[in-house]
Structure 1
Amino acid sequence: MSRTRNAWVLPTSVVLALLLSLVPLPPMVQALRPYWLALVLAYWVIEEPERVGLGFVFIMGLIADISFGGLLGEQALRLVVMAFILQRFRARLRFFPLSQQALAIGGLLLNDRIVASAIHFAVGEPMLPWTYWWAPLIGLLLWPPLFVLLDGLRLGRRS
């Protein structure tokens, strides 16, 4: 099976994750928006570590920072912290059932909120409202279908 057969899936999924993060939502639902870029990059760090490492994740974080107009380097730092933890435990995570993987990803997304809060506190930015703490739960619920979708696209049809 050729590994480069579906090489388009990685850049397409990252661009779609960025676009989904930029779609305007009503204020009531905005806080529940999952961190699409983190979910997609988590998949690629777990499944294709030779293609998606800390450098790639950092660059995608900087692109996200520029796209969203936030504090430059905030998302880059948050994503690198997540990717580092994923790389450290990748061998174990790959063999977890999908439900346990979802719990681990939910924990990483919760850790991401803690890192974001620490960054906001350190630079004097206003703290995120309490409703933003629900987004990791949404990410946890989205992990299994997202994993299955990306895995199917990456692997393609098996003969």
Structure 2
Amino acid sequence: MSRERQPWLMPITLLVAFLLSVVPVAPELQPLRPAWVALVLAYWIIESPGRVGMALAFALGILQDLIVGGMLGENALRLVVVTFILLRFRARIRFFPLTQQAAIIALILLNDRIISVALHAFWRLPAAPWTAWLTPMIGFALWPILFIAIDSLRLRGWGR
């Protein structure tokens, strides 16, 4: 199945990412929640950059701010920065093996965590617990699985 024949796949994967972002978890596990929207958005930036841009990242971030709560604009800024970095280095990242891609995604998610801490410090909001610093490593572990899963849906379709 052609890549262009599945325009519904990107919205569905982003919807699933949003749903995973709001699934209730125990309060002590909340800081370990992966950045699902950022991970799925990263996949689409790497594999289909013509369909994803800064405006979409900003809109998804505002939507995430409204759904998850917190400071309005924080997730929007973080997703725009993630998008900018990935669009800038997409040509190189795309041809790396999955383990190297996962390492780069982890570094980008670490940058995302630093932005979050800086914003919270600037606005004097409570900081996330230290366990939140483990989320880039969780993203590192999830990236190959997520990439292969979405890629197989995108390239082969549901029923093949």
- TM-score tier by shorter-chain length is over 0.9
Give the aligned partner of residue 76 of structure 1: 76
Instruction: Kindly provide the CA deviation profile for residues 81-102 of structure 1, in whole angstroms up to 9, marking residues without a partner as x.
Output: 0110001100000010000000
User: Counterpart of 1:27 in 2: which secondary structure?
Assistant: coil
Give the aligned partner of residue 108 of structure 1: 108
User: Which amino acid is the alignment partner of residue 99 of structure 2?
Assistant: S
Give the aligned partner of residue 34 of structure 2: 34
- Contact persistence 1:9–1:154 (CA under 8 A): yes
**2:34, 2:70 → 1: CA distance?**
17
Q: CA deviation at 1:26?
A: 0.6
Q: CA deviation at 1:2?
A: 3.3
Moved over 6 A (4+): none
Structure 1: 5+ residue stretches without partners: none
| TM-score (normalizing by structure 1) | 0.95
How many matched pairs? 158
- Contact persistence 1:6–1:155 (CA under 8 A): no
| TM-score (normalizing by structure 2) | 0.95
Aligned ranges 1:7-156 → 2 under 5 Å = 7-156=7-156
Q: CA deviation at 1:30?
A: 1.4
Q: CA deviation at 1:33?
A: 0.9
Supply the RMSD in Å over aligned alpha carbons. Answer: 1.3
